[in-house]
Structure 1
Amino acid sequence: MAKKNGNGKQKSMEETLWDSANKLRGTVESSEYKHVVLGLIFLKFVSDKFEERRKELLEEGKDKYIDMKEFYNMKNVFYLPEECRWSHIIKNSKQNDIALKIDTALHSIEKNNPTLNGALPDNYFSRLNMDVSKLAALLDTINNIDTLQDKQQDVVGRVYEYFLSKFALAEGKGKGEFYTPKSIVNLIAEMIEPYKGIIYDPACGSGGMFVQSVKFIESHHGNKREISIYGQEYTATTYKLAKMNLAIRGISANLGDVPADTFGRDQHPDLKADFIMANPPFNQKDWRAKDELIDDPRWNGYEVPPASNANYGWILNMVAKLSENGIAGFILANGALSGGGEEYKIRRKLIENDLVEAILILPRSMFYTTDISVTVWILNKNKKEQTRQIGDETRLFRNRAKEILFLDLRQMGEPFEKKFTQFSVGDIEKIAATYHTWQQDDQAYENVPEYCYSASIEEIEKKDFSLVPSKYIEFVNRDENIDFDEKMRALRSEFSELLKAEEQSKADLLKVFDELGYKIDLP
């Protein structure tokens, strides 16, 4: 009988797999076991692809080629020696040395396929000393996934996306930076429309921006061979996640030879990108020593970004990488909209140089690592009249020079995982449509109170070059629309939960003292 979740519904494949993976908890940190689980999913997927191709060769009478790498690589399939195949792992799954066999398989796959260099977990399984029975149970669960069952549904991609999201949720504040919530990535892709050309992410995490770019291309009947992907990631384990994430989807990318700091070791110094999508670390401190990077060519004509905060360092890195018609969509903490000092001077020059096209303030609680409200920036190197080809459409973009579109999205979004917010499909369609209408049709676009406003550079100059949307968007008296009964019921429910938790904590503490022989009598 199929297992059911808390709502009484049959559990999805992703939920069942997550439950099995969760059994590893206790002996393995969540920040570690994501590499264990995702490494195994990757191994199952590449094995299934290998066996499928091997069967094809046999059916075509090409028996003598079944152990030649070239006949697999030509179909974008990784060649796997006997000891690397999933069938070998499953056959030995109950053996005490199964962890060593998995490590050997992953190492051998990477060695035999140069494009996977630096991508796979390195001795994770042996080093983590996992319970053999729990690891065997996880292998059995993964064995039930038919990764090739429905190519249209991208089964492995779906599982991978689910796990990245769940791991980010599990790790929470201060961790989980490898993952940008999917609905925000979707929104940026729908706005800047990365259809053809070079795509770049200077802080690529697990590669979600690239995955969504390719999905955008496919949904508009484009050809992913007409894009080139470049990225960089500082954290070694996250660099591996990104390489695996892209490999299982057949996406080629240049993420640099090694994981490295984008500022200290830029691995794409001469790159000019048509599209940039990024979610760099918020308010990164001590990103450069006081006297370092003073003459960096990326600051070309701008002030040197302050050493105390990397926000404007990231902005200028992206400005330097944009092609003459390039567009960037990226996420930053709200403080970058109005900071003083060097940040003010850089922001003012960005506005005067007519690079800022749109500013979107997002709802709170969209990120798993912080509950603050953050901002999406859209930079455009060419805001003048032009045509662009998106799929079968030829679009005329109006001259929007010396104007900036402000969008306040704080009243949008839907609940997600109880305490988080995400954009619905309808939200994304509405926001992208507003932006594209503003770009393309002067007659159809109109300012809407509490939602959007198109400001001239003159207006922004009068506001001392602040990019805070609420300084431009009209707000009406919201008190008239507030349902106080509903608000009070929500507060009462939340307060009740807090009191219950406090009572439980008190009872647990008293029980501990009682068991130690120190009974406490409360007044």
Structure 2
Amino acid sequence: MAQLENIEAIEKRLWSSADTLRSNSNYASNEYFMPVMGLIFLRHAYSRYLAVKDEVVKNLPKRGGKTRPLSKEDFSQKSAVFLQEKAQFDYLIALKDGDDRAQAVIDAMESIEADYQSLKGVLPKSEYQELDNDVIGKLLRDLNPEELKQASGDIFGRIYEYFLTQFADQKAHDGGEFFTPVSLVSMIANVLEPKRGIVLDPACGSGGMFVQSARFVEQLHENPMERLTFYGLEKNPTTIRLAKMNLAVHGLEGRIEKAITYYEDPHELAGKADFVMANPPFNVDEVDADKVKKDTRLPFGLPGVNKKDKVSSGNYIWISYFYSYLNETGRAGFVMSSQASSAGRDEAKIRQKLVETGHVEIMTAIRSNFFYTRTVPCELWFFNKNKPEHLKNKVLMIDARNIFRKVTRKIFDFSPEQLKNILSVVWLYRGENERFLNLVYDYVRQCIDESLNCFKDDFVPGFQKAFKDLNETVKPFIDTVKKDNAGNEALVNFLGCSPDFKEFKVYAAQVQKSFNKLSGNVNISRLKDFIENVLADLSARTKDISKEIDLVYKTACRMIEVCEQDMEAKENKLWNTREIIKARKKLDETRKAAVEQLKKVRYFYRQAAWLVKRFPDGVFCDVEGFVKLVDRKELQANDWSLTPGRYVGIAPEEEDEDFDFGETMREIHQEIESLNTQAVELAEKIRGNFEGMLKYDAN
């Protein structure tokens, strides 16, 4: 997917603009998300429409010298939505202040619903009548920033998911349970590899499982609508609307029915689904036992029932349903509470029966804080009714709790590379060793590419130029005081600075040549040797250069400080304070950019080294604290537990080479400052409320 360098900043800015709707409308936070998602839907649909329009028009058939009009079918083949002129975002943007924007948006939505019966009654319409004309105009403009107009790839798909994420974080709808973190959904889709057939999500929420399945097919350069058929069940009508919009905005269609899955099965897909994917509600204890006890979707029997004739926990109802929906070669992947994998009594009996089918394939432990609405850890379960005979009595245990990326203080996810690294274990387990080798090879190539990218103008050369500019700015003053301050340490250090990284540039080019020679005859042994020797040295050199760049910046800052405080530079006409501040700021900006680019070299080195350290021969093996292939005897000896941590052991603690203590302390200090400010504001508010109460009592 094509990315913009500052996409995260753009997403935050767009969200901030949309979030102002709360203070500019009569909507509460649990109401305004639908009109906002509606406009994001229109903008994303327009982005996909423009992306394929030229190709569609070029291939339109002609009769009698006339080209037939565009149609829905032309765009469906390209996974895009056909838009009449009134539904195109540029048309809505061009509306004047005197025009009725609310009605124009409603007309746009109705025109799309007229062409797509699956969206009939789904898109938000009447909600816009509550919004002020100027507010709608501002929202439309805010969602159409200049830098995104020419963006390629699925940029607005990412933005759509970002908005879903933010609304989930706010619990703006259905407690936020409509949204499953993208990294978990992506992992499920990429383990299942849904290339063709029926995909069922019996708790589909906003439809993320369908979108990620489609992306997997798109990566194979196939049309997902020709390969996959989507079926969903969801109890909440508003969530169904979100799901159908999410599908449509990605050029997809699905059959999503309103149903309480515990008691209803409107699609009647038991034994028919090729793939089942889901993130059901955890630990539900209000399922009516009498209503489900005869359900054919419970092939292993009913879980424990309490004194109120309710199923004690709905977890194993879901697990049984997911299994029963699969056809004879089907695969299932789903999120489940970590309590379920070692639950006792009746649930343990069901788990034993499941293991004895030979169809439990993979269990993956995920640490806490991956969800926006709950902090508990979870596990990903995978069933496969088409396991090869030699793996039938074994379960692959992966403990991924030590693998995560910090998104915010409270939220974690997988980076794209972390996700690939976990998936590579599954490839090795399935005997797809070539895919593992290719991944390691790609990391090595990316590492070398990033080392050469360091010498693009925005990075190391940019820092060198900024230092030169600062030098020239302070030179007139320093020339006049140099003799009198010949022994001044700060001045001497600054004048002695000459950041020169030619040696590293030459070395990086040599590494690339060596790699090109290796590429013609690559195998895991040669690749491992190259990583451990050549790439490790390249990575280490970037750390030294980062330290040198930081030292040059600190030296420059110290020189400025000494000149201003000890030499009264600000009183001298040759000291241009304004230009010096500007030059120092530029030096700091280029320093950060160069250091971040150098970090990328070490990052991709670490990915390659991480893999070959654990799988040095490029074939599957047990790795202490991470992965183990467990046979049925060991499962039985452990009460049929499917908890990965019970089998894999404890992982050795790893040190983060790029951990910056100073930067971390600055972040902590800033956070404390923010909390102190909030505490003062809160105390002032409480004092004001208290004084108000006293006045009220006095009256």
TM-score band, normalised by shorter chain: 0.7 to 0.9
Aligned residues: 490
Aligned-partner residue type, residue 399 of structure 2: D
Instruction: Provide the residue aligned with 1:136 in structure 2.
Output: 137
- The answer to whether the 8 Å contact 1:93/1:139 transfers is no
Instruction: Provide the residue aligned with 1:117 in structure 2.
Output: 120
**C-alpha separation between the residues in 1 aligned to 2:392 and 2:386?**
8
- The answer to whether the 8 Å contact 2:348/2:639 transfers is no
Of 318, 329, 349, the residue aligned with 1:314 is 318
Aligned-partner residue type, residue 416 of structure 1: V
**C-alpha separation between the residues in 1 aligned to 2:66 and 2:96?**
29
- The answer to whether the 8 Å contact 1:305/1:313 transfers is no
- The answer to whether the 8 Å contact 2:199/2:273 transfers is yes
Question: Is the aligned partner of 1:508 residue 2:685?
Answer: yes
Instruction: Provide the residue aligned with 1:453 in structure 2.
Output: 628
**C-alpha separation between the residues in 2 aligned to 1:384 and 1:57?**
45
Q: CA deviation at 1:189?
A: 2.0
Instruction: Provide the residue aligned with 1:178 in structure 2.
Output: 178
Aligned-partner residue type, residue 437 of structure 1: L
Question: 1:48-197 residue pairs with structure 2 within 5 A?
Answer: 49=49, 52=53, 66=69, 84=87, 86=89, 89-90=92-93, 92=95, 94-95=97-98, 97-126=100-129, 129-144=130-145, 149-151=150-152, 153-171=153-171, 175-197=175-197
Aligned-partner residue type, residue 115 of structure 1: S
Instruction: Provide the residue aligned with 1:231 in structure 2.
Output: 232
Deviations 1:475-516 (A, max 9, x none): 2786999x9x99x97998788876775555334322433466
**C-alpha separation between the residues in 1 aligned to 2:60 and 2:355?**
62
Aligned-partner residue type, residue 15 of structure 2: W
- The answer to whether the 8 Å contact 2:186/2:212 transfers is yes
Cα 1:69–1:430 change in 2 (3 A) is: closer
Instruction: Provide the residue aligned with 2:266 in structure 1.
Output: 267
Question: Is the aligned partner of 1:15 residue 2:6?
Answer: no
Does the residue aligned with 1:160 lie in a helix, a strand or coil?
A: helix
Aligned-partner residue type, residue 379 of structure 2: T
Cα 1:457–1:490 change in 2 (3 A) is: farther
Instruction: Provide the residue aligned with 2:339 in structure 1.
Output: 335
Aligned-partner residue type, residue 631 of structure 2: S
Question: Is the aligned partner of 1:357 residue 2:534?
Answer: no
Question: Is the aligned partner of 1:466 residue 2:641?
Answer: yes
Cα 1:139–1:335 change in 2 (3 A) is: same
Deviations 1:129-187 (A, max 9, x none): 23332222102223447988455x12331221221122222328972111111111122
Deviations 1:228-251 (A, max 9, x none): 222222211111111111112212
Q: CA deviation at 1:293?
A: 2.0
**C-alpha separation between the residues in 2 aligned to 1:100 and 1:348?**
59
Question: Is the aligned partner of 1:419 residue 2:410?
Answer: yes
Q: CA deviation at 1:377?
A: 0.6
Deviations 1:21-47 (A, max 9, x none): 011023323332221122113234556
Does the residue aligned with 2:31 lie in a helix, a strand or coil?
A: helix
**C-alpha separation between the residues in 1 aligned to 2:7 and 2:321?**
47
Worse overlay, 330-339 or 16-25 = 16-25
Cα 1:448–1:68 change in 2 (3 A) is: closer
**C-alpha separation between the residues in 1 aligned to 2:67 and 2:221?**
38
Give the structure with the larger helix fraction: 2
**C-alpha separation between the residues in 2 aligned to 1:460 and 1:509?**
57
**C-alpha separation between the residues in 2 aligned to 1:315 and 1:280?**
9
Question: 1:373-522 residue pairs with structure 2 within 5 A?
Answer: 373-385=377-389, 399-440=390-431, 444-475=619-650, 502=679, 504-514=681-691
Q: CA deviation at 1:12?
A: 4.5
**C-alpha separation between the residues in 2 aligned to 1:423 and 1:372?**
16
**C-alpha separation between the residues in 1 aligned to 2:216 and 2:76?**
26
- The answer to whether the 8 Å contact 1:90/1:139 transfers is yes
Q: CA deviation at 1:403?
A: 1.0
Stretches of 4+ aligned residues off by more than 6 angstroms? 53-64, 67-77, 145-148, 476-481, 488-500
**C-alpha separation between the residues in 2 aligned to 1:75 and 1:461?**
50
**C-alpha separation between the residues in 2 aligned to 1:247 and 1:311?**
31
Deviations 1:234-269 (A, max 9, x none): 21111111111111221232223xx22223332221
Instruction: Provide the residue aligned with 2:350 in structure 1.
Output: 346
- The answer to whether the 8 Å contact 2:627/2:648 transfers is yes
Question: 1:198-209 residue pairs with structure 2 within 5 A?
Answer: 198-209=198-209
Cα 1:512–1:66 change in 2 (3 A) is: same
Deviations 1:48-75 (A, max 9, x none): 7399589879997988965987777787
Q: CA RMSD in A?
A: 3.9
- The answer to whether the 8 Å contact 1:276/1:327 transfers is yes
**C-alpha separation between the residues in 1 aligned to 2:419 and 2:147?**
32
**C-alpha separation between the residues in 2 aligned to 1:479 and 1:144?**
42
Question: Is the aligned partner of 1:42 residue 2:41?
Answer: yes
Does the residue aligned with 1:475 lie in a helix, a strand or coil?
A: coil
What TM-score does the superposition give when structure 2 sets the normalisation length? 0.62
- The answer to whether the 8 Å contact 2:79/2:250 transfers is no
Cα 1:507–1:464 change in 2 (3 A) is: same
